[in-house]
Amino acid sequence: MSASDAVEFTGHCLCGRVRFRGTYDATHDLKACHCSQCRRWSGHVWAAILPTSLQIEGEPLWYRASDFARRGFCGTCGSSLFWQRDGSEVIDVAAGAIDAPTGLQLQGHIFTADKGDYYAIADGLPQDPGEN
């Protein structure tokens, strides 16, 4: 990543008790996850950035979501904020919690074979069916 590809961002939960700032690589592909776990966690679909640096202010609560990852949220307002794979130092950050203007653009969809039956994906972006 070159210095010109580094994008600074800030964001917070709905009530503002958990705030964060950092950088991400502008060449990162933002994709929406349609798996059943992400849909339940977010209320629809989950899209997150992979930051290259992250500082969190406040204390998110963490939920052990599976045998390989945990999810972070605000204990006051319940905002879904973070996802972290076990053994990784990277904490994915919810794109919807990042302050505007984000400069982000959705590039595709993952786990579409597991998407909800109440909507269609009709934006013409690439779709990866993933694993069920």
Helix (H) or strand (E) holding 39: helix 36-42
| Domains in the chain: boundaries | 3-128
pLDDT at 68: 93
Counted residue by residue, the chain has a size of 132
Residues 122 and 112 sit within 8 Å (Cβ to Cβ): no
pLDDT band at 2 (very low <50, low <70, confident <90, very high): low
CA dihedral 12, 17, 18, 21 (to 10 degrees): 60
Helix (H, G, I), strand (E, B) or coil at 113: helix
pLDDT, one tens digit per residue, over 5-34 is 889 999 999 999 999 999 999 888 899 999
pLDDT at 1: 52
pLDDT at 28: 84
Which residues share a beta bridge with 64? 70
Check residues 1 and 46 and name the one with the higher pLDDT: 46
User: In angstroms, what CA-CA distances link 76 with 18, 93, 108?
Assistant: 9, 18, 32
pLDDT band at 114 (very low <50, low <70, confident <90, very high): very high
pLDDT, one tens digit per residue, over 30-85 is 999 999 999 999 999 999 999 999 999 999 999 998 999 999 999 999 999 999 99
Q: Which of 42, 43, 46, 44 is nearest to 32 (CA)?
A: 46
* 121 has a pLDDT exceeding 90: yes
* CATH label, 3-128, candidates 2.40.30.10, 2.170.150.70, 3.40.50.620, 1.25.40.20: 2.170.150.70
pLDDT band at 100 (very low <50, low <70, confident <90, very high): very high
**Rounded Cα gap, residues 48 and 32, in angstroms:** 8
